[in-house]
């Protein structure tokens, strides 16, 4: 199967991560998966959230906010729509994922807030947000003399017209029978799996194939992340 953009089923779109794009943020990166573009910035703040202080939790914290700019899609989306359920759900996903990549004990005394703003949406915005957000987080940690606990990347996989595909663009995602987002560490290790049979069920064999496809694609993202950190 040759896809609409000419890719083979297991091919990622071109991945580009440009570090240091915001001169004011402690860490930043512009992450591109094909036409999808997400600006990720990391802000370092003193102290931990009140609930952690109240519970006597000595660790630091990492949290995230995700939003789509009003004309990141085919039609304008009002700014208030970015405060809805989808934006909150993706914000929580990004935050959970990036906390898994940070050593919160060594971050004691600090909170890092990751803002992920979608400039152009063509599918895979949450996976680009996590992948770019990790670079922004790594740069912010570097400024504190710390390092991420592990590398982290995210990629979408799914089934469209009976064909298993890697890194779905918008046209594919909107027609998917199965949609899955994978948050991964190197070696195929999983941090989070979001999978929905939107138009029917899927088999354990398909699940295994999709996990393998995701692990292969994640290596391309890891390479882009490593290159971005070397540039910076």
User: Three-state SS for 145?
Assistant: coil
Q: Residue 2: its pLDDT value, please?
A: 77
Which residue stretches of the chain have pLDDT < 70? 81-83, 232
Q: At what angle do helices 125-143 and 204-231 cross, to 10 degrees?
A: 40
Run of H or E residues at 73 = none
pTM to 2 decimals?
0.95
Q: What are phi and psi of 58, to 5 degrees?
A: -85, -5
Architecture of domain 15-231: 2-Layer Sandwich (3.30)
Transcribe 76-143 into DSSP letters.
---GGGGGSHHHHHHHHHHHHHHHHTS-TTTTTTEEEEEEEEEEE-SS-HHHHHHHHHHHHHHHHHHH
Region of residue 47 (left: phi > 0; alpha: psi -120 to 50; beta: else): left
Structure tokens at 22: 């915001």
- Per-residue exposure over 16-50, b if at least 16 CB sit within 10 Å of its own CB, e if not: ebbbbebeebbbbbbbbbbebbbbbbbbbeeebee
| 192 in Cβ contact with 36 (< 8 Å) | no
Q: Residue 40: its pLDDT value, please?
A: 98
Transcribe 199-210 into DSSP letters.
TS---HHHHHHH
Q: Residue 170: its pLDDT value, please?
A: 95
Q: Which residues pair with 192 in a beta bridge?
A: 183
Q: How far apart are CA 99 and CA 95, in angstroms?
A: 6
């Amino acid at each position: 199967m040759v896809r609409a953009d000419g890719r083979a089923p297991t091919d990622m779109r071109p991945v580009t991560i440009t570090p240091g794009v915001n001169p004011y943020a402690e860490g930043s990166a512009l992450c591109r998966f094909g036409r999808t573009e997400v600006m990720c910035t990391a802000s370092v703040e003193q102290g931990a959230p009140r609930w952690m202080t109240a519970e006597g939790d000595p660790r630091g914290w990492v949290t995230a906010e995700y939003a789509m700019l009003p004309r990141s899609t085919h039609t304008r989306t009002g700014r208030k729509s970015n405060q809805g359920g989808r934006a909150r759900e993706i914000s929580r996903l990004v935050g959970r994922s990036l906390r898994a990549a940070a050593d919160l004990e060594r971050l004691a005394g600090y909170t890092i807030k990751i803002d992920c703003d979608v400039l152009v949406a063509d599918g895979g915005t949450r996976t680009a947000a996590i992948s770019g957000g990790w670079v922004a987080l790594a740069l912010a940690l570097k400024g504190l003399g710390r390092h991420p606990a592990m590398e982290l990347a995210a990629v979408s996989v799914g089934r469209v017209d009976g064909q298993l595909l890697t890194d779905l663009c918008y046209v594919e995602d909107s027609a998917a029978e199965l949609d899955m987002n994978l948050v991964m560490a190197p070696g195929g290790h999983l941090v989070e799996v979001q999978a929905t049979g939107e138009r029917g069920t899927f088999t354990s064999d398909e699940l295994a194939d999709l996990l393998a496809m995701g692990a292969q694609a994640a290596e391309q993202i890891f390479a882009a992340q490593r290159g971005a950190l070397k540039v910076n």
